[in-house]
Structure 1
Amino acid sequence: MEPKKSQNNIVFIKHSKRGGWTTTPFILGSVLTLTMTSGGLIGNLIVYLITKYNVKSIDATQLFNVVIGCMSLFPIVGAILTDSYYGSFAVIAVFSFVSLLGITLMTLTASLPSLRPPPCTNKLLPCESPSKLQYGVLYAILGLACIGIGGTRFTIATMGADQFEEDSNSIAIYFSWHFFMFYVATVISTTVIIYVQDNVSWTVGFGICVVCNIVGVILFLSGRKFYRKSRTKGSPFTGIARVITAAVRKRKVSSANHQYNYDINDKSTTIPSNSFRFLNHGALKIESDDLKTRTWSLSTVQEVEDLKTLIKIVPLWSSSVMLSASIGMFSNFVILQALTMDRHLGGSTFQIPSSSFLSLDVLATCITICLLDRLIFPMWQKLTGWSLAPLQIIGLGHVLNVAALVASAIVEIQRLHAARDHHLTGLSMATTAIVPFSALWLLFPLTILGISQAFLFPGQISLYYQEFPTSLRSTSSAMISVIVAIGFYLSTAITGLIRKNTRWLQDDINDGRLDIVYWVLAAIGVVNFGYFLVCAKMFKHKLDKQDQTLDNVSSS
């Protein structure tokens, strides 16, 4: 067994019996069960808040957005801990136990009535709100869940990819299977578990999540002898900070009579690229620099190029923030729409849980990923001789997202017409009246949204994994989560702004104009797509950057 120095910050331990596809049953099994845990906890949270905590509908969606935002921020914390200090295995193990604690305590809120306000029995009277203590307990539990679920979600994705060699095509295949398992687990949690919560018992439903979490922990720990482990070598962010500090200190130093400090292992790059030339000063060697010890006055060329890569990718990354915000608002409003629609299948007494409608979105994503990976992309490459780049795949996701919002607006217009035709608007009731309009119409926008996400998220994680510096691989995967976090926080702010300045969003959505909200989001999506096209046009891939650097070397 010998170390393999393939990354700046992480030294992989090379072992003939470790890594590869042998590890995937343990990793993907953990992804399946841990995702079922998070889906069962979060997927029906809006309904749980409305029915058990007497929270008003729009307030419940805003609280849900905050929870998702927090849950999506913690992956970046997990990524930093992984890349800088403890490695993937330790971080995933610890955070999965925190997740288990959170879901166990959530089960207690369902089983102990003292932790919730009294049930709302009279629909004509206002319901009693939770006490400060009850809110405090709920927030603490949701905080633990955010830390536990967020800390494992994208760290485990990167750990799975790290089991393969960097030049192996297996990484792309692994990511496809990872997202497939993720979406399959989401479908199971948003159908089976949510059905149990709505029709059997919330305690039993959350209890199933506890069992899933325990199984996930056991599966993950069982594969510890097969994982390709890594030793961390300090924070890569320290090197980035060193570049900025050194560049500022040497801003007046001319590069004419000085050499650049480059890594011994970096044989292809001896001078930095021409972009963001100011940062190149950080790698200039002067007489006062001590090359034997790392100081804050000298960085390496590789550290300079890593920082440039991050700067170049930020505009492209930011184009997905508004996209995430619209997806968050769409998902929340679909649940509120389903709560007010006829959810029966035909003439049967079976009623689909409102939160389970989101499984249609996830199911469409699963099917689309399989078709893209096994049929459409190979056929496209065979017919044209070239494959779609990640940016092109993401662009298709933008277009389909706008189409989903347009379809949602059309469905909502028809739902409001049915509500007015049956005189279900303007009623003073604690809950919204059910409109005799089939909730199955939501299938169309949800399917389009699911197809769009099959293009968006795998395309984004593939792009960032390829383009980010190798020392920030875990961070690159977590960047998707940061997009989701900022997007959901932004959706909370947008929802609050709309409520404050218009009457489009009412607690009784039969009295509002949710269709106008969808049209506004679609218009914003069109503008955001234009911004994405500009960013994609200006973006320089890592390969282009290396070619440019080599040209600089030859010309010098």
Structure 2
Amino acid sequence: MNSDRSRGGWRSFPFIIGSTAGMSVGGAGIIGNLIVYLIREFNVKSINAAQVGNVANGSSSLFPIVAAIMADSFFGPFSVALLSSFLSFLGTVIFVLTTIIGSLKPKPCNNGSNACKPPSKFQYAILYGGIALCALGFGGARFTTASLGANQFNETKHHDIFFNWFFLTLYIASVVSFTAIFYIQDNISWAWGFGICSVATFIGLIILVLGYRFYRLHKPQGSAFLDLARVLVASIRKWKSQLSSTAKDYYIAKDETLPIQPATTPGKRLRFFNRAALITDGDLQSDGSIGKPWRLCTVQQVENFKAIIGILPLWSSSIFLSVPIGIQASMTVLQALATDRQIGQYFNFPAGSISVIPLISTSIFLTFLDRVVWPAWNKFSGKSPTTLQRIGTGHVLNVLGMAASALVESKRLKMVHSNPSTTMSILWLLPALVLVGIGESFHFPAQVAFYYQQLPQSLRSTSTAMISMIIGISFYLSTALIDQVQKSTDWLPDNINDGKLDHFYWMMVFIGGINFLYYLLCSTLYKHTKM
């Protein structure tokens, strides 16, 4: 068996990245074109298909936090990534079966016809089973693999480099799915398209396993979230106790095994929770160990809890950064279906592939930032931009992208209403998506690096899943928001040519602007817990 010194570092990098590439090609190829598949093959109405797509995206982004808790507390990131990869593979197989077994989907009909037969309950059950396995598996593998990869390095600069390459791989793999695989699905065969996704997922699974001998495996340290709950309960139970300024009055575990030097005295911020580590009568047994774990915690557990609490305002600001992205991801597909997608004499742009534009712009700018902008910034200023500065820049670019979407949709609707026979070119949708993609190159990697560096080391997998949880909540919120707007206004009918989607985008601009001000306040008040 290899020693720990022979594990980790850049020798494990090809396996982490290779697995990420395979899983991303498979996952994006299924979930990314789900809206079009539902409309064309399952006779689902457009807005309903967009809602299902949002739920699928939300699930694939929320499950990583569950997977991260399992990895941190019980099984470790490798085991959870392995199981998640296998579940994703099973999901892709189910999608392949829906394309080759006629009884698993409704009979085809003309798009928009009132005679279209909806799927049966059995067909819905099989479909949703495949969606669930793909969403949960892909989501669980994606950021748990990111934690596994980051765990191979000790230095912060290596973490930053790894996360940049991780996201670059994620986006490039998605670009492959959103172009080549979507084209195969739309123009050749859904069976071939989903089959390629299944093969790619299986290859990613095999690569993950092959790298096992090179991974530095961190043992789970028990339920860190249970420790956090104990801090909250102990603080409340001792709310009348007087805080002390003497270090010996606070409990420090004698067998503290955390990789970093444990705190010996509680910090001054959020001092109320220091009571959880305050030693009072009856808290300790005769041998000096904790007698009542729900009444006394270690100083390190208290500081871990306060780190979580301190980061929550910044984390919440990122939710409304991602809500417009989720809305744009689904609505742009509907816009693409209503545009002229013919480019040149022979190429018809697949509607689902419109989402490739922000992925391409993100991939290009991630490379540009890493190789040109950040080195130049460091050369002239003597330091690199902070993660919070990069996230803030992403906020601004995201708002500008929503404003561009609103302007383009307003122009498209004017063209349709003035002359119904004219159709706007799909190329008009590109500038707004490029802006959003550039924004993602700033804020997504920066957010993952920020949470990884700021949260306790006992929550490493959870920290990388924080951004995924944000995306998941955002997709669910965007689904609820679309549903509410559809009920209370005339902006989102089934035929978007009869609606006012531009008004919806302007509402996103307003929400994004308010949220940016909130982010500025949170980032100004935030105090870093460690470097």
TM-score where L is the length of structure 1? 0.91
Residue pairs, 1:141-156, within 5 angstroms: 141-156=130-145
Equivalent position amino acid for 1:113 in 2: G
Equivalent position amino acid for 2:475 in 1: F
3-state SS of 1:130 partner: coil
Alpha-carbon distance in 2 for matches of 1:20, 1:320: 31
Q: Which residue of 2 aligns with 1:409?
A: 406
Counterpart selection for 2:472 from 466, 479, 485? 485
Residue pairs, 1:222-301, within 5 angstroms: 222-256=210-244, 259-264=249-254, 269-288=263-282, 289-290=284-285, 291-293=288-290, 295-301=293-299
Q: Which residue of 2 aligns with 1:518?
A: 505
Would the aligned equivalents of 2:88 and 2:133 in 1 still touch at CA under 8 Å? yes
Counterpart selection for 2:515 from 521, 528, 531? 528
Alpha-carbon distance in 1 for matches of 2:511, 2:381: 33
Would the aligned equivalents of 2:277 and 2:302 in 1 still touch at CA under 8 Å? yes
Alpha-carbon distance in 2 for matches of 1:196, 1:74: 29
For the pair 1:438 / 2:425, whether they are aligned, the reply is yes
- Deviation, 1:254, is 2.4
Counterpart selection for 1:459 from 435, 441, 446? 446
Q: Which residue of 2 aligns with 1:9?
A: none
- Deviation, 1:416, is 1.2
Q: Which residue of 1 aligns with 2:393?
A: 396
Q: Which moves more between the two structures, 37-46 or 282-291?
A: 282-291
Aligned length: 521
**Structure-2 change in CA distance of 1:267 and 1:468 (3 Å):** closer
Alpha-carbon distance in 2 for matches of 1:138, 1:42: 12
Would the aligned equivalents of 1:243 and 1:299 in 2 still touch at CA under 8 Å? yes
3-state SS of 1:196 partner: helix
Residue pairs, 1:311-326, within 5 angstroms: 311-326=309-324
- Deviation, 1:542, is 0.9
Would the aligned equivalents of 1:52 and 1:119 in 2 still touch at CA under 8 Å? yes
- Deviation, 1:418, is 1.9
3-state SS of 1:437 partner: coil
- Deviation, 1:123, is 4.9
Would the aligned equivalents of 2:159 and 2:449 in 1 still touch at CA under 8 Å? no
- Deviation, 1:125, is 3.3
Residue pairs, 1:98-497, within 5 angstroms: 98-121=87-110, 123-165=112-154, 167-256=155-244, 259-264=249-254, 269-288=263-282, 289-290=284-285, 291-293=288-290, 295-346=293-344, 348-423=345-420, 435-497=422-484
- Deviation, 1:293, is 4.5
Alpha-carbon distance in 2 for matches of 1:465, 1:419: 48
- Deviation, 1:185, is 0.2
Alpha-carbon distance in 1 for matches of 2:319, 2:439: 15
Q: Which moves more between the two structures, 54-63 or 263-272?
A: 263-272
Would the aligned equivalents of 1:81 and 1:87 in 2 still touch at CA under 8 Å? yes
- Deviation, 1:66, is 1.0
**Structure-2 change in CA distance of 1:220 and 1:469 (3 Å):** same
Would the aligned equivalents of 2:395 and 2:443 in 1 still touch at CA under 8 Å? yes
Alpha-carbon distance in 1 for matches of 2:52, 2:318: 22
TM-score where L is the length of structure 2? 0.95
Would the aligned equivalents of 1:107 and 1:203 in 2 still touch at CA under 8 Å? yes
User: Percent identity, aligned pairs only?
Assistant: 45
**Structure-2 change in CA distance of 1:464 and 1:139 (3 Å):** same
The one-character-per-residue Cα deviations of 1:107-154 (angstroms, maximum 9, x if unpaired) are 111112211111113755342211122112211221111221111110
Q: Which residue of 2 aligns with 1:547?
A: none
Alpha-carbon distance in 2 for matches of 1:124, 1:205: 26
- Deviation, 1:168, is 4.9
Alpha-carbon distance in 2 for matches of 1:517, 1:187: 27
Residue pairs, 1:36-115, within 5 angstroms: 36-115=25-104
Equivalent position amino acid for 1:285 in 2: I
Alpha-carbon distance in 1 for matches of 2:157, 2:57: 33
**Structure-2 change in CA distance of 1:70 and 1:123 (3 Å):** closer
3-state SS of 2:280 partner: coil
The one-character-per-residue Cα deviations of 1:381-436 (angstroms, maximum 9, x if unpaired) are 21122321111111100100011011111111221122123236xxxxxxxxxx52
Alpha-carbon distance in 2 for matches of 1:202, 1:268: 55
Alpha-carbon distance in 2 for matches of 1:502, 1:123: 23
- Deviation, 1:240, is 1.1
Equivalent position amino acid for 1:453 in 2: E
Equivalent position amino acid for 1:102 in 2: G
Equivalent position amino acid for 1:467 in 2: Q
Equivalent position amino acid for 2:79 in 1: A
Would the aligned equivalents of 1:261 and 1:300 in 2 still touch at CA under 8 Å? yes
Alpha-carbon distance in 2 for matches of 1:399, 1:182: 23
Point out where structure 2 has 5 or more consecutive residues left out of the alignment: none
Would the aligned equivalents of 2:491 and 2:504 in 1 still touch at CA under 8 Å? yes
3-state SS of 1:128 partner: coil
The one-character-per-residue Cα deviations of 1:463-493 (angstroms, maximum 9, x if unpaired) are 1111111111110111111101110111011
Equivalent position amino acid for 1:417 in 2: K
Equivalent position amino acid for 1:439 in 2: I
Alpha-carbon distance in 2 for matches of 1:464, 1:492: 26
Would the aligned equivalents of 1:404 and 1:448 in 2 still touch at CA under 8 Å? yes
- Deviation, 1:229, is 1.2
Alpha-carbon distance in 2 for matches of 1:484, 1:261: 38
Equivalent position amino acid for 1:493 in 2: A
3-state SS of 1:342 partner: coil
Alpha-carbon distance in 1 for matches of 2:23, 2:490: 40
Would the aligned equivalents of 2:22 and 2:203 in 1 still touch at CA under 8 Å? yes
Alpha-carbon distance in 2 for matches of 1:268, 1:299: 13
Would the aligned equivalents of 1:345 and 1:351 in 2 still touch at CA under 8 Å? yes
Would the aligned equivalents of 1:14 and 1:228 in 2 still touch at CA under 8 Å? no
Would the aligned equivalents of 2:263 and 2:303 in 1 still touch at CA under 8 Å? no
Equivalent position amino acid for 1:358 in 2: S
Alpha-carbon distance in 1 for matches of 2:296, 2:3: 31
3-state SS of 1:436 partner: coil
